[in-house]
């Protein structure tokens, strides 16, 4: 009996404990190297050192040089890594076989953690300008009462704007999620979750290159003990400790947002972030208040404010209407709360005779028409935090934000994260 027990322990140490500790050690080294990268500061020399160190686990598409390079590194657990070296048809047969499912579930229950850590960095003109990392692992049994099985993961990407743009016909960046109200608390990162993710729990983080480095480390400091502890990690907060208060998949109050006071909150996002993320930023003088109008055909009670304003200056991405011309603007009309996640947002107004800085998400006006056979109101629509007072202090911070909205020549290639 003792001999059988010793053999079982030896097999467990060899087949489960040792591979998991090796995987954790490799991932910890890769994560340390990822944290050593400072987007927009680290150079091609830093990239070359990473490529030399991780070449066994790395790859790239096309050319990789100091002018342009996207380099991808992936560390899998040893068994998945071995199966991944087989031809794709063989891999599919292995993963779909009932025997494999039984063996894999037994290994997971004994402490084996199917997992992967991925890192991507993009070089442009001698600098590492952006990075992307993701860690995921399989949860075989989430515990009572449901005993669900699902994939648990967190990704984090660097992007200069926390608003998406269209690039090559597709949204860039592709995993930018999270309500803009988060920016009132942390103007340099947003967190969200996918809407149609069945059999998974994922958190998507996007942060700017100007986020203080220690905060970027916290947002990507994955808990690698999840690989070796006997009790499985089952939540985003387990995998990424800083995310314990986000509550992306339950009804708890999220610390990503300002607490709700019961009354709609005015915009509290700093103008720097508003200018950085806007498609267009204009300085205007409000000339007239025009009659309110109905924007939606089935919402008669929801009428939009409308003003006529003169463009004094275009600070970012000039629109078709030139400075000196007049345009119509409709400010944000407010937003209801979505408890327990985010509070209600107050409506914004443009006052006649005042100068304002306005931030547009679209560089073309919206046509509001209840009857397709009749002409309707044509106005530039402002979103939340679309208006701030035209003061020297606000203008100064706006100019800082404009300098932070850098551009990339290429979108990130689609990565086979799975």
Domain positions in the chain are 23-77+113-245, 271-404
Report which of residues 76 and 339 the model is more confident about.
76
Distance CA 137, CA 141 (A): 12
pLDDT for 416 equals: 46
DSSP-derived secondary structure letter, 15: I
User: Is the confidence at residue 372, as pLDDT, over 70?
Assistant: no
Q: 34-38, 292-296, 348-352, 380-384: which range is least confident on average?
A: 292-296
Q: In the structure, what pLDDT confidence band is assigned to residue 167 with cuts at 50, 70 and 90?
A: very low
Q: In the structure, what pLDDT confidence band is assigned to residue 147 with cuts at 50, 70 and 90?
A: low
Residue written as token pair 């063989």: 90
Q: Which of 97, 72, 73, 69 is nearest to 83 (CA)?
A: 97
Q: What is the dihedral of CA 250, 254, 259, 260, to 10 degrees?
A: -30
> What pTM value is reported for the model?
0.88
User: Is the confidence at residue 307, as pLDDT, over 60?
Assistant: yes
Report the Cα–Cα distance between both ends of the chain, in Å, rounded: 42
Distance CA 238, CA 24 (A): 15
As a whole number, mean pLDDT of residues 148-170 equals 78
Phi, psi of 150 (to 5 degrees): -165, 170
Q: In the structure, what pLDDT confidence band is assigned to residue 45 with cuts at 50, 70 and 90?
A: very high
State the chain's mean pLDDT as an integer.
Answer: 86
Task: Name the percent of the chain lying above pLDDT 70.
Answer: 89
pLDDT for 336 equals: 82
Q: 19-28, 46-55, 137-146: which range is least confident on average?
A: 137-146
User: Is 256:246 a contact under the CB 8 Å cutoff?
Assistant: yes
DSSP-derived secondary structure letter, 66: S
Report which of residues 142 and 224 the model is more confident about.
224
Kindly report whether the peptide bond that precedes residue 191 is cis, defined as omega within 30 degrees of 0: no
Distance CA 125, CA 82 (A): 36
- The SS3 of residue 404 is helix
User: Is 252:170 a contact under the CB 8 Å cutoff?
Assistant: no
Q: In the structure, what pLDDT confidence band is assigned to residue 51 with cuts at 50, 70 and 90?
A: very high
**Which residues 6+ apart lie within 8 Å of 400 measured at CB?**
272, 275
* 247-264 residue pLDDT tens: 998 877 889 988 876 788
pLDDT for 79 equals: 75
Domain 271-404 coded CATH 3.30.565.10: no
Report which of residues 341 and 308 the model is more confident about.
308
């Amino acid at each position: 009996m003792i001999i059988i027990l010793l053999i079982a322990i030896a097999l467990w140490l060899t087949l489960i404990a040792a591979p998991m500790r090796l995987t954790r050690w490799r991932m910890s080294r890769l994560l340390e190297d990822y944290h050593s990268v400072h987007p927009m500061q680290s150079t091609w020399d830093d990239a070359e050192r990473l490529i030399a160190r991780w070449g066994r686990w790395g790859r790239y598409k096309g050319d990789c040089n100091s002018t342009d390079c996207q380099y991808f590194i992936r560390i899998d657990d040893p068994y998945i890594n071995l199966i991944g070296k087989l031809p794709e048809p063989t891999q599919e047969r292995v993963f779909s076989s009932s025997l494999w499912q039984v063996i894999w579930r037994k290994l997971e229950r004994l402490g084996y953690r199917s997992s992967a850590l991925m890192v991507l960095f993009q070089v442009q003109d001698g600098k590492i300008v952006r990075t992307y990392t993701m860690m995921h692992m399989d949860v075989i049994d989430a515990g009572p009462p449901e005993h669900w099985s699902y994939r648990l993961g967190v990704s984090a990407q660097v992007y200069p704007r926390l608003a998406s743009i269209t690039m090559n016909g597709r949204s860039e960046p592709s995993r930018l999620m999270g309500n803009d109200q988060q920016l009132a608390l942390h103007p340099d990162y947003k967190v969200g979750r996918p809407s149609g993710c069945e059999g998974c729990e994922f958190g998507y983080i996007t942060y700017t290159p100007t986020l203080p480095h220690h905060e970027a480390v916290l947002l990507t400091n994955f808990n690698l003990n999840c690989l070796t502890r006997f009790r499985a990690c089952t939540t985003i907060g387990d995998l990424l400790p800083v995310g314990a208060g986000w509550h992306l998949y339950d009804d708890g109050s999220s610390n990503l947002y300002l607490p709700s006071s019961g009354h709609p909150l005015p915009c509290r996002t700093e103008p720097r972030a508003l200018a950085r993320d806007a498609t267009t930023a204009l300085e205007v003088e409000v000339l007239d208040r025009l009659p309110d109008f109905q924007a939606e055909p089935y919402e008669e009670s929801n009428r939009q404010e409308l003003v006529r304003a003169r463009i004094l200056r275009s600070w970012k991405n000039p629109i078709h209407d030139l400075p000196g011309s007049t345009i119509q603007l409709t400010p944000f009309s407010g937003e209801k709360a979505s408890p327990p996640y985010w509070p209600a947002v107050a409506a914004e107004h443009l006052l006649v005779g005042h100068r304002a800085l306005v931030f547009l998400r679209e560089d073309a006006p919206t046509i509001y028409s209840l009857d397709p056979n009749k002409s309707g109101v044509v106005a530039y629509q402002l979103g939340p935090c679309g208006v701030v007072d035209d003061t020297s202090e606000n203008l100064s911070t706006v100019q800082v934000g404009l300098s932070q909205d850098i551009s990339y020549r290429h979108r990130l290639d689609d990565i086979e994260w799975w």
